[in-house]
Amino acid sequence: MLHIITSSLFLVLLASTNVGAADHQHMSHDVVQTADVAKTMQWTNGEVKRVDHKKGKVTLHHAEIVNVMPAMTMAYRLKDTAMLKSLHAGDKVSFVLEKQGDAYLVTHISLVK
């Protein structure tokens, strides 16, 4: 009888250890995914070509964004349209894009001197 109780206790401990390991593996996977997302959020240099206050967009000519898109000129929406107030055609900027659905959104932008 003692052997059965000891075996049962061992199985319960073993099962709880495996659950903990599975949780640890899941947590590690989440950390890797978060690190991958951070890598995609890179600062890119560009030049403001146009500011459209009505549509809340800025047209930027920018360098290649590695693993995202080639160098191009494109209009982007801004996460905070208040950022448009400090931008003018010809400004040199550095910015961060974030993918939202099929489009990209400027989440950060700053003037480069």
Per-residue pLDDT, 68: 87
What is the pTM assigned to this prediction?
0.63
Instruction: Give the CATH number of the domain where residue 61 resides.
Output: 2.40.50.320
Do 58 and 82 share a domain, yes or no? yes
Do 29 and 61 lie in one domain? The reply is no
Q: Are residues 30 and 61 in the same domain?
A: no
- What residue numbers bound the domain in which 72 lies? 43-111
How far, in Å, are 30, 73, 98, 101, 112 from residue 104 at the CA level?
A: 23, 13, 5, 8, 21
Compute φ and ψ for 47, nearest 5 degrees: -130, 135
- H or E element: which one contains 4? helix 2-40
- Our count of domains for the chain comes to 2
Residues 76 and 96 in one domain: yes
Same domain, 52 and 103: yes
Whether residue 4 is predicted with pLDDT greater than 90 in this model: the reply is no
Q: Per residue in 46-80, pLDDT tens? A: 999 999 999 999 999 999 988 889 999 999 999 99
**Alpha-carbon span 33 to 36, nearest angstrom:** 5
> Residue with structure tokens 């910015």?
95
